[in-house]
Amino acid sequence: MDIARAYELLTAAFADHDVRISLSEEAREVLSQLDERWLVSAISPLTLTYPDRTIMLRVFLCDTQPLEDRNTLRDIRPSDVALPVAHGVIIVTPAGGGVGEPHHRYLLVPSARVMAGEARYIFVKPDSLKGKAMSQVYRRLYGKAPIMLDRYRQSRNSAYQQTWQATAPELATAAPLIRREGDAPWMWVAMHWLENGGAESWAFRQAELARDAGYKILITVDRGAPQRLLGRAYEIADEVFLCAQTFGVKERAPFVEALLRTYRPVAIHIHHSVLAYEHLGLVRTLLPDTRVEDSVHIVEHRGGGYVADSVRASHLIDLHHVISPQLREIYLREAGIAPEKVAYYPLTGLTARASAEASGEIPARPRAALRVGFLGRMSLQKRPFLFVDVARRLHASAPQDFEFVMQGSGELEHYTRDHLAKAGLADVVTTRAWGPVTDFLAEIDVLLIPSDNEGLTLTSLEATSAGVLVVSADVGSQITVVAPGALLPREPNAFVAGAVELLRRLAADDGERRSLIARQRGLVADLASRTSAEEFYTDHYATTAVAKTKE
C-alpha cells in the first residue's frame, strides 16, 4: 500500500482527528493485497468507543493462523506478552488533543506467510502452559499422523454428552435510549469474519435482502483474520467494523454501548458472533424494542459452539433461523425453544431450484478416468487429509482410473501440501485456490466431502445442479441431500475404506454413478419444495422493514 494513499484514506475517514502513520515495507506489501479500506475499518471501532482519547497502535504482523489475539492475551496475562517488533505505528488524536491517557493497542495485521497460506496453525489457544504444550503435540501429530489424531478427536466427540439450556437474561442497569425522529432504520449484522465460507455467503445475502428492503446496514466482525471479503461487505454496508484487529476483552462492552447509542439499530441479525451474543442483555436494556434474530448452521462438537450460545441467549432473541432438520430438532426437542421462535428455512434458493429442475437422462462420464474433487476450506472440520489418503490408495492401485482436484485455501493449506508431497501426490492431485464453483464442478464427476461436521452443505446443492455425484460423511443433515449409497461413516478409517471401495466401483461401473445421482436429485427436489431462507426473508423484511421505517 502506498503510504500517501493510506494517509489520505485515514485523514478522510477521521476528519476530526490528527493522523500520523508509519509502516514497514512488509506491512505495506501485505496491506496492498487487502481492500484499501482495511485500516479505516480496523481503527474505526476504537475511535467510536473512545472518541475523546488518542489512539496509539503498534502494527503487529501476526505469523500464525488463526491470528494471535495479542490484545486479549495482554489483558489476561500482561506479564507473559513480550513486546513484539513493531512494523509500524499509527496515532489518531482528536482535534485539540486527546483527553486522559492515550489508548494503547496492537493492530493485528496478517503476515505475508498468512496471506500465502504458509503460516503455522495454532491448534489450541496458547493462553496457558497446558495450551501451549497441547498445541505443539497437536501440530506434530497433524503433520505426521493426521488420521490417528482425528480418530482421537472423533472418540472424544462421540463420548461427549451435549446438553442444551436457556439461561435467564442478564440485563444492564442503564436507562433505555429514546429513538430520535428521523433516525435511519439501521440493522446491525454481526459476523464471525470476512473470509470465504457457507455461513458468510448466507450472511452477505441476508444483509443484501435487508438493505433492499430499506434497512441501512452496519457489519461487525469479531474474529481476527485477513478479512479478504471486506470489499464484498462494503458493497452492502455503510459501516464495517473489524473489531478483532484492535480489540481485547475490555473494549467489547464499551464498543457495543457506543454502537447502540450512535446508530440505535432497530434490528440485529447474528451470524456466528460471540460479540453480539455476549451483549444482548445490554441491547435489551438500551433498546428493548430492537428485533433480534440469528442464523445458525452447525453444531460444534463438545460444547455446541454458536448453537449453544444461541440457545443460552434465547430469552433475548425474537427468532432463530436454522438451516437444517437436525438444528430444528435440537431447538425444539432438546432445548425446548417455543416453536414460534424457530424458523427452519434451508439455504436452497436458486441453487436448489436449478437442482430440482435438472431432469432427463444423466449423461455418461465424459472421460475414461473418474475425476474426484474436494471443495472447501483447508481446516480441521473439512478434513482434507482424508481426501489425500483416499487419493493415495486409489492412485497406488489403479493410477489410470482416477484423477483428483482440490480447490480451496485456509489455515491448514501448507499441511495439505505437505501431506500430498509425503504421499507422492504432489504432481498427481491438482490444487488450486478459490475460484468459481461452477467452473470447478464442471471439471469433476464426484465431489468427496470428508468433513467431521457440517450442517447442510451448499456445495451438495451446487453439485446436484451441475450433475455431480456427492459422496459425503454422514454428518449434520447431509442425509437430506446425499443418496443413501453415497453416505459414509464419520469415523476416519471407516470413511476412507468406504470411499475407496465406492469410488473403485464407480470407476468400473458408470451406471452406478448415474443411479446414485438420480436418487440425489430426488432428495434435493424434496428439499427444494420447502420455502427457502431467501424467500422467507424477502417476505419477512417486506413487513418488518416497513413497520420499523414508519415508527
3-state SS assignment for residue 235: coil
Q: Please, which pLDDT band fits residue 372 given cuts at 50, 70 and 90?
A: very high
Question: What φ, ψ does residue 223 adopt, rounded to 5°?
Answer: -130, 125
Query: So where are the chain's domains?
Result: 3-115, 186-345+531-550, 353-528
Rounded distance, CA 37 to CA 241, Å?
A: 11
3-state SS assignment for residue 515: helix
Judged against a pLDDT cut of 90, whether residue 440 lies above it is answered with: yes
Q: pLDDT digits over 506-550, tens only?
A: 999 999 999 999 999 999 988 888 999 999 999 999 987 655 555
What are the CA-CA distances from residue 216 to residues 193, 270, 321, 432 (Å)? 20, 16, 21, 37
Lowest pLDDT segment from 293-302, 436-445, 487-496: 293-302
The fraction of the chain above a pLDDT of 90, given in percent, is: 66
Note the pLDDT of residue 149.
Answer: 84
As a three-state string, the secondary structure of 84-138 is CCCCEEEEEEECCCCCCCCEEEEEEEECHHHHCCCCEECCCCCCCHHHHHHHHHH
Q: pLDDT digits over 114-125, tens only?
A: 998 888 888 777
Same fold, 186-345+531-550 and 353-528: yes
3-state SS assignment for residue 296: strand
3-state SS assignment for residue 431: strand
3-state SS assignment for residue 475: coil
Rounded distance, CA 35 to CA 528, Å?
A: 36
The answer to pTM > 0.85 is yes
Q: pLDDT digits over 42-81, tens only?
A: 999 999 999 999 999 999 999 988 888 878 766 655 555 5
What are the CA-CA distances from residue 290 to residues 293, 362, 506 (Å)? 10, 50, 54
What are the CA-CA distances from residue 483 to residues 376, 478, 479, 516, 523 (Å)? 21, 9, 7, 6, 7
233 within 8 A of 518, measured Cβ to Cβ: no
CA angle 476, 480, 484 (to 5 degrees): 100
Lowest pLDDT segment from 222-231, 392-401, 467-476, 525-534: 525-534
Rounded distance, CA 253 to CA 250, Å?
A: 7
Rounded distance, CA 388 to CA 423, Å?
A: 8
Q: pLDDT digits over 170-211, tens only?
A: 555 668 898 888 888 999 999 999 998 888 999 999 999 999
Q: How many CB atoms lie within 10 A of CB 506?
A: 24
Rounded distance, CA 421 to CA 415, Å?
A: 10
Q: pLDDT digits over 319-330, tens only?
A: 999 999 989 999
CA angle 501, 506, 511 (to 5 degrees): 140
Note the pLDDT of residue 127.
Answer: 61
Three cell numbers written together for 377: 476450506
Residues 6+ apart with CB under 8 A from 85: none
3-state SS assignment for residue 493: helix
Fold of 186-345+531-550: Rossmann fold (3.40.50)
Write down how long the chain is: 551
**Of all helices (H) and strands (E), which one includes residue 406?**
strand 402-407
CA atoms within 13 A on the CB side of 303: 3
Q: pLDDT digits over 104-151, tens only?
A: 999 999 999 999 888 888 877 766 667 677 777 878 888 888 888 888
Question: What φ, ψ does residue 184 adopt, rounded to 5°?
Answer: -70, 145
Q: pLDDT digits over 243-269, tens only?
A: 999 998 889 999 999 999 999 999 999
Average pLDDT over the chain, rounded to an integer: 89
Amino acid at 468: V
Q: Regarding beta strands 216-221 and 103-110, do their DSSP bridges make them parallel or antiparallel, or are they unpaired?
A: unpaired
User: In the 8-state DSSP scheme, what is residue 213?
Assistant: T
User: In the 8-state DSSP scheme, what is residue 301?
Assistant: T
Lowest pLDDT segment from 122-136, 194-208, 296-310, 385-399: 122-136
What are the CA-CA distances from residue 458 to residues 96, 227, 442, 551 (Å)? 53, 22, 16, 37
Rounded distance, CA 540 to CA 210, Å?
A: 9
Which of 100-109, 159-168, 450-459 tops mean pLDDT? 100-109
Q: What is the DSSP string of 163-188?
A: ---PPPP----SPPPPPPTT---EEE
Note the pLDDT of residue 165.
Answer: 65
Note the pLDDT of residue 175.
Answer: 80
3-state SS assignment for residue 303: coil
The residue among 121 and 87 whose pLDDT is bigger is 87
Provide the Cα torsion 442, 444, 448, 449; round to 10°: -20
Judged against a pLDDT cut of 70, whether residue 20 lies above it is answered with: yes
CATH class of 353-528: alpha beta
Q: Peptide bond preceding 66: is omega within 30 degrees of 0, i.e. cis? A: yes
- If 0-12 CB within 10 Å is exposed, 13-18 middle and 19+ buried, where does residue 76 land? middle
Rounded distance, CA 136 to CA 206, Å?
A: 39
